[in-house]
Structure formats: structure tokens, C-alpha cells
Amino acid sequence: MKRQDYISWDEYFMGVSLLAAKRSKDPNTQVGACIVDSNNVILSTGYNGFPVGCSDDNLPWNRTGEDTKYPYVVHAELNAILNSGGKSLRGATIYVGLFPCNECAKAIIQSGIKEVVYLNDKYANEKSTLASKRILGMAGIKLRRLTPREKNLVLNFENELDR
């Protein structure tokens, strides 16, 4: 009989997005994204970080004050779209830890992505999130908040070692 405790597609792709987020250097919010086609093939991934060639050590990670991260950081969703290397994203689904902002929503719509699956909506009351929901709704993009069956998905490297 086949294994019964395998993970669902939703858990797999959101898991990949959460794993990508582990690469983020942002001390406050780590976001990951995973773009998948209608055949459940991963097309691209991304996480929030500074542009290529712009050192994590020479730009600020501050949220407030004179010099903040906000003008410099590339959002996870945009990075995933840009990382897709020219592949068509028409009809694809994007899995993201955090609900996309309005700037990412514009890129999502223009790239032809048709569904956004997310976990966290902690900035639901921000103008950027309200604007995002407005245009995503107008563009007919499906929005789905994932309620995972399992709270934890553990990756155990040690179990894979030959001993």
C-alpha cells in the first residue's frame, strides 16, 4: 500500500516558498515565493533581498530613520517573476508567505499569473495591501488563503546521512 502521510501539492509549494524565505537577510520579515504551472511544475522561486551586486552588508536593513531598506529591497514575488528566465507564467499560480503588495500585484497581473495562494496577511490594513486586493480582484486573479493541515513540516538532514 502507498504511503498515506505524503504532503499535498499546496503544502509542497508553500513549503518551497517558506524554504526560500529562509535565505532572506531581512531581520524583520522574511518572504518567499514559488511559481508553479498548471501541471504542478515549479517555474521559479524568489525571496526578499537586495538586487544582485548590491551587498547585503553595504545597504541598510533598518525599517525607520534616514536610511531604510524599503527603497532597495526586491520583493519575493517580483524576484520570483524576474528569476523565471523568460518562461511564460500565463495561467500559473504563485505561492507566497505574505500577501503581495500593490507593486507585486501589478507584476503578477502583467505576467499572466492567475492565482495567488498565501498564508499571512499581517499588512491587511495597509494602503498597499488594499490597493493590491483591488487590482487583483479587478484582474480576476483568484486569491486563496492556505489553511495548512499540519502546523509543522520538519526537514531532517540527519536522517538522510549514511551511518
Ligand X SMILES: O=c1[nH]c(=O)n([C@H]2C[C@H](O)[C@@H](COP(=O)(O)O)O2)cc1CO
**98 in contact with ligand X (CB under 6 A):** yes
CB of 13 to Zn ion, least distance (A): 19
Rounded-to-10 torsion of CA 81, 78, 50, 84: 0
**Which of 44, 75, 99, 118 forms a contact with Zn ion (CB under 5 A)?**
75
Which neighbouring-strand residues pair with 120? Answer: 98
CA angle at 103 for the pair 115 and 92, rounded to the nearest 5°: 20
**Toward ligand X, which CB reaches closer, 33 or 43?**
33
- Active site (catalytic) residues: 77
**Which of 100, 108, 111, 136 forms a contact with ligand X (CB under 6 A)?**
100
**123 in contact with ligand X (CB under 6 A):** yes
Decide: helix, strand or coil at residue 153: coil
101 is in an annotated binding site: yes
**111 in contact with ligand X (CB under 6 A):** no
**Which of 31, 33, 35, 101 forms a contact with Zn ion (CB under 5 A)?**
101
**Which of 16, 35, 43, 104 forms a contact with ligand X (CB under 6 A)?**
104
**Toward ligand X, which CB reaches closer, 104 or 141?**
104
Dump the DSSP string for 70-84: TTTPBPHHHHHHHTT
- Tell whether the torsion through CA atoms of 64, 121, 34 and 137 is positive or negative: negative
CA–CA dist 46, 96 (Å, integer): 10
Task: Map the footprint of ligand X across residues 24-83, applying CB under 6 A.
Answer: 26, 28-29, 31, 48, 63, 69, 73, 75-77
**21 in contact with ligand X (CB under 6 A):** no
**136 in contact with ligand X (CB under 6 A):** no
CB of 5 to ligand X, least distance (A): 31
Give the residue numbers of the binding site: 75, 101, 104
